[in-house]
Amino acid sequence: MSASPQLSVIIPVFNGWEMTRDCLNSLREHAVGIDCEVLVVDNGSTDAVSTELEPLGRALFGAAFRLLRFPENCNFGPACNAGARAAAAPLLFFLNNDTLLTPGCLPPLLRALDDEPSPGAVGPLLLYPDRSVQHLGVSFTLEYVSHLYRGFPIDHPAVRRRRKLQALTAAALLLPKTIFFDAGAFCEEYRNGFEDVDLCLQLRHRLGFTLSCIPESVIIHLEGRSAGRRDGEIDNNAVLGRRCGSAIIPDMHLHGAKDGFEPFISDAFNICLRMKAEDEEALEAEAAGRDTDFRLALARRHPLWAGGRAKLIADLEKAGKGKEAMGLFHELAALRMTAEIHREAALFMAAHGERAACAFYNRRCAELSERRSDRATARKYLRRAERCDAFLRKLYDEKIRELSDKRLFRDS
């Protein structure tokens, strides 16, 4: 390791030896030419990490490898903060051990910190092993935090656009060390979730920095392989709301509109996205007269194509391909988010002997019907939207008029 490396790669680890081994091997292969040190923070691992990690790290990185070891699991935030305090470089690259680097992924991130205006942090495009999107930034609605365009194919135009965001995942996050600590580092109240969202909101809202996803940089993310990854979700949501609620701006509708989609409000009063009518019609024309395989491939390239999925479900069922049709019905219900489509899904699942799925959709149908029939709930969401942008206020106002015109409110 040089006396002053350019980059400190910080990898928190709790068990998962095979993942950790593969991550380090990919880092060694694809960080050639970059002056970096590698700090692995072991959260009290009890599997082969405890014995095999240090020999492998030394073999791969020599003196540039350092191991920090806790006697027990202190969780993601404290482990990353310990690594950051020990880091010798001016730049920190937080990296999950369930990631695999790809050729040329680091230089675009490093360049972006110089090229972007007021850069606070940058992150890569994270893909599942099947090359669909796992993460290209975090988006917000009035209630939910989610990965924008999760499941989209890598070649979709919306995926390849560089965009400013309110938050990025710390599964692969690059930022200057001074900025990291100016923002307060990772808040240690969280338990393996939302530490990164909180940090990014501090960077953006309190310090005025920008955050960008750099799609020229691609890293594979296996996601969710760590034990206990989602155990603290309820408490983490509460901490995020208390610490950052006033800093969060609903933006899914803004991203969607900019990318050529049509935002709408679901029966759950949440922001959703759909294709514009003219784009659905263009796909229908492209699919006309083509076989099922062609139309399935077309649907995979266009994850918001609801009309195409509806027709494919009918065709697949006629062809006796109930399992394939069920998969598409799950996607269709998630896209349309209406009580009616959930009722249809329940009937479909019952006809195919899927009792658990039938019960789920019946329950969701009842919940959506109850929710959309409550005028007081609708007005509550409208009041929240009125504190946001005019576009969002318009979407909620249109939804209330729609429900009123259909006489779906209980007091209609």
State whether 311 and 407 are in the same domain: yes
Tally of domains in the chain:
2
Residue 83 host element (H or E): helix 76-86
State whether 151 and 21 are in the same domain: yes
Residue 51 pLDDT: 95
State whether 165 and 70 are in the same domain: yes
State whether 242 and 323 are in the same domain: no
- Is 119 or 173 the better-scoring residue by pLDDT? 173
Closest CA to 90 of 114, 74, 60: 114
**Domain membership flag for residue 213:** yes
At 207, is the pLDDT very low, low, confident or very high (cuts 50, 70, 90)? Answer: very high
- DSSP, collapsed to helix, strand or coil, labels residue 303 as coil
**Domain membership flag for residue 217:** yes
Pairing of strands 138-140, 163-164: unpaired
**Domain membership flag for residue 2:** no
Angle, CA of 79, 81 and 82, to the nearest 5°: 65
Both structure tokens of 94: 């937080």
At 411, is the pLDDT very low, low, confident or very high (cuts 50, 70, 90)? Answer: confident
Q: Which domain holds residue 265?
A: 255-412
Q: Average pLDDT of 111-138? A: 93
Residue 296 pLDDT: 95
**Domain membership flag for residue 367:** yes
Residue that finishes a domain, picked among 214, 249, 284: 249
Reported as a single tens digit per residue, the pLDDT across 251-268 is: 999 999 999 999 999 999
Q: Average pLDDT of 15-39? A: 96
**Domain membership flag for residue 269:** yes
Residue 232 pLDDT: 76
Residue 117 pLDDT: 77
Residue that finishes a domain, picked among 228, 249, 270: 249
User: How far is residue 177's CA from residue 83's CA, in Å, rounded to a whole number?
Assistant: 11
- DSSP, collapsed to helix, strand or coil, labels residue 126 as strand
| CATH number of 90's domain | 3.90.550.10
Reported as a single tens digit per residue, the pLDDT across 169-183 is: 999 999 999 999 999
State whether 307 and 208 are in the same domain: no
Residue 226 has pLDDT above 60, yes or no: no
Residue 224 pLDDT: 64
Reported as a single tens digit per residue, the pLDDT across 286-312 is: 999 999 999 999 999 999 999 999 999
Residue 1 has pLDDT above 90, yes or no: no
Reported as a single tens digit per residue, the pLDDT across 353-404 is: 999 999 999 999 999 999 999 999 999 999 999 999 999 999 999 999 999 9
Residue 223 has pLDDT above 80, yes or no: no
State whether 328 and 229 are in the same domain: no
| CATH number of 401's domain | 1.25.40.10
State whether 354 and 280 are in the same domain: yes
Residue 272 host element (H or E): strand 271-274
**Domain membership flag for residue 53:** yes
145 Cβ contact list (under 8 Å, min separation 6): 138, 139, 167, 194, 197, 240
Angle, CA of 90, 116 and 103, to the nearest 5°: 70
User: What average pLDDT is seen over the chain?
Assistant: 94
Residue 309 pLDDT: 96
253-257 long-range contacts (CB < 8 A, ≥24 apart) are: 253/391, 253/392, 253/395, 254/389, 254/391, 255/139, 255/148, 255/163, 257/391
**Domain membership flag for residue 1:** no
State whether 174 and 322 are in the same domain: no
State whether 228 and 141 are in the same domain: yes
Residue 228 pLDDT: 55
State whether 166 and 114 are in the same domain: yes
Residue 227 pLDDT: 55
Residue that finishes a domain, picked among 230, 249, 268: 249
At 118, is the pLDDT very low, low, confident or very high (cuts 50, 70, 90)? Answer: confident
**Domain membership flag for residue 214:** yes
State whether 133 and 226 are in the same domain: yes
- DSSP, collapsed to helix, strand or coil, labels residue 178 as helix
State whether 97 and 195 are in the same domain: yes
